[in-house]
Structure 1
Amino acid sequence: MEFLDAYSIRARLFPAILTIAPAVALALLATNWTDPGLSEIVSTVGIAVLFFAAADLARRMGRRRERQLFAETGGKPYNTELCHDNSTLVKGMRDRYRTFIARKINQAPLSEDDERQNPKAARDFYDECFFWLRENTRDTERFKLLFHENVSYGFRRNLLGLKPIGILLNILVFALAAAIVWLEPGFASLSDGKLVFLAIFSLIHAMFFIFGVSQSSVLDASRTYARQLALSTETLISSENKAG
């Protein structure tokens, strides 16, 4: 049942469904549903299983593409939202959050000179800060906005990983649909009207993958998630103040 959690459905299954939609549309349009037989039953079961397999593939290819993306952009990014020279948050917020988290991880908050004189130590410090933040913001109800941003990042990352498959499927579906109409096999029933619909659908779908699924959209979602993660410190501070 872990597969059915909200993150898995929205960040893994939805990109998978979007990617294989042309193939599913072809299977539905080309099959004779007025008099269903064994082939229709097999198609229905096959599509259901395909969704689960595609969701797992989305996760694996998304992670692989993530590693490639980080390598192409200079390595895995680390959170700098609490650094002194970062203007994502106003200075007062950065100082307050940095002091709060530093106390939680039993370290002294870094000064501007500390960051400048020892960048490696500063990076390790902020990595630890954000690791602590991620571990303490896993309550999806309490940190609902953060969860939504995490889902958005996962969805875009996995869709980017599936981009080549999505484009290829549109090409193959159009070719298969044309072959079905030309050869008229007995197991299929695809009229010219259905073919036109499928051709238009495949074209729009391919354009979406070519122009709408991009590295920049993934990086943008990553920055938005990192900012929201830093802002979640405010909720943790407020909760501690109320408890105190």
Structure 2
Amino acid sequence: MFKVLDAYSLKARFFPALIAIIPALAALAILISWSKFGLTNLIATVAIPVLVYAFADTARRLGKRIENRIYAASGGKPSLTMLRYSDDSFDAASKAQYRGFLSSKINQPVPTEQDEKDKPKEVDAFYERCGAWLRENTRSANKFSVLFNENVTYGFRRNLLGLKWPTLGLNLIIVLTCAFILYRQGMVDVNDDLTLRLLIVIAFAIIHAIYMAFAVSTRSVIDASRTYSRQLILSCETFLGKGKPKAAKS
């Protein structure tokens, strides 16, 4: 477990997992008595880090799974589409310079605008190799700190989106379970300690579900993906000897 606790994994995988299971953690914290340490407390103490780790792994797998859908919704992988002649994310002169530089690194001639029209798949393969070279050579979080932070933002939003439906399902289970317990108790008395705690858990789960339903969206992931991809391409400025690239505009 501890081998994955690097900065990216912590922020882009564990944080989304933690956000996703907060209602479950709140339910454990509120409904279990912590006045004395017993078997229930021991199980909960062990279960919490295991649950977070399991959700972090699930977040990564589900996040990667939805990438193709995200790219399809945004017209393709941004780090690829932004290098096309038909894209206006960068001015023509800058793109020509970036293409020329990347061409020298992957030992392939720069495709022409006509090539892009006649052989789109081959040209996109060239741009894909350019993006792969950039990703492989900009892994230093210190040298490319802006790029790293944008990558973290993208990973965080993508992985949280991957957990959206499992989280909404978990919230529903929590609400239904608490409601069933209240139903079995009979009349709801807010002065009763257990009833009050159950109502708090239900309210927390509903608020959390609203956040997941409306704040976590494909659009926010697409925006983060484009910002990261723009910054990735701008990292060419560093290799070309122009210093650190400017932060990409949102």
TM-score > 0.5 by shorter chain = yes
Q: Quick one: which amino acid aligns to residue 199 of structure 2?
A: V
Q: Quick one: which amino acid aligns to residue 107 of structure 1?
A: Q
CA distance, structure 2, for counterparts of residue 65 and residue 173 of structure 1: 26
1:75-95 superposed Cα distances (whole Å, 9 cap, x missing partner)? 766612222222111222212
Is 1:235 matched with 2:238?
yes
CA distance, structure 1, for counterparts of residue 173 and residue 193 of structure 2: 16
Is 1:61 matched with 2:62?
yes
Equivalent residues of 1:26, 1:177 under 8 A apart: no
Classify the secondary structure of the residue corresponding to 1:109.
coil
Q: What is the match of residue 201 of structure 1?
A: 204
Indicate how the Cα distance of structure 1 residues 121 and 182 shifts in structure 2: closer, same or farther if over 3 A, else same: closer
CA distance, structure 1, for counterparts of residue 101 and residue 202 of structure 2: 57
1:32-51 superposed Cα distances (whole Å, 9 cap, x missing partner)? 11122121111111111111
Q: Quick one: which amino acid aligns to residue 117 of structure 1?
A: D
Indicate how the Cα distance of structure 1 residues 197 and 150 shifts in structure 2: closer, same or farther if over 3 A, else same: same
Q: What is the match of residue 227 of structure 2?
A: 224
Classify the secondary structure of the residue corresponding to 2:142.
coil
Q: What is the match of residue 246 of structure 2?
A: none
The aligned runs of 1:29-44 (5 Å cut-off) are 29-44=30-45
Classify the secondary structure of the residue corresponding to 1:79.
helix
Q: What is the match of residue 131 of structure 1?
A: 132
Classify the secondary structure of the residue corresponding to 1:222.
helix
Equivalent residues of 1:134, 1:229 under 8 A apart: yes
Classify the secondary structure of the residue corresponding to 1:84.
coil
Q: Which moved more, 1:105-114 or 1:10-19?
A: 105-114
Equivalent residues of 1:181, 1:191 under 8 A apart: no
Indicate how the Cα distance of structure 1 residues 120 and 174 shifts in structure 2: closer, same or farther if over 3 A, else same: closer
CA distance, structure 2, for counterparts of residue 200 and residue 61 of structure 1: 27
Q: CA deviation at 1:109?
A: 2.4
Indicate how the Cα distance of structure 1 residues 102 and 81 shifts in structure 2: closer, same or farther if over 3 A, else same: same
Could you tell me which runs of 5 or more consecutive residues in structure 2 were left unpaired when the two chains were aligned. Answer: 186-191, 244-250
Equivalent residues of 1:170, 1:203 under 8 A apart: yes
Q: What is the match of residue 189 of structure 2?
A: none
Q: Quick one: which amino acid aligns to residue 39 of structure 1?
A: T
CA distance, structure 2, for counterparts of residue 112 and residue 45 of structure 1: 59
CA distance, structure 2, for counterparts of residue 76 and residue 238 of structure 1: 27
Aligned residues: 236
Q: CA deviation at 1:154?
A: 1.4
CA distance, structure 1, for counterparts of residue 69 and residue 129 of structure 2: 24
**% same residue:** 44
Equivalent residues of 2:78, 2:226 under 8 A apart: no
CA distance, structure 1, for counterparts of residue 119 and residue 68 of structure 2: 27
Equivalent residues of 2:31, 2:198 under 8 A apart: no
Is 1:111 matched with 2:123?
no
Aligned partner (choices 157, 170, 191) of residue 194 of structure 2: 191
Equivalent residues of 1:181, 1:190 under 8 A apart: no
Q: CA deviation at 1:59?
A: 1.2
Q: Report the aligned-residue RMSD.
A: 2.3
| TM-score normalised by structure 1 residue count | 0.87
Indicate how the Cα distance of structure 1 residues 183 and 44 shifts in structure 2: closer, same or farther if over 3 A, else same: farther
Classify the secondary structure of the residue corresponding to 1:238.
coil
The aligned runs of 1:58-207 (5 Å cut-off) are 58-70=59-71, 79-183=80-184, 191-207=194-210
Classify the secondary structure of the residue corresponding to 2:235.
helix
Q: Quick one: which amino acid aligns to residue 234 of structure 1?
A: E
Q: What is the match of residue 7 of structure 2?
A: 6
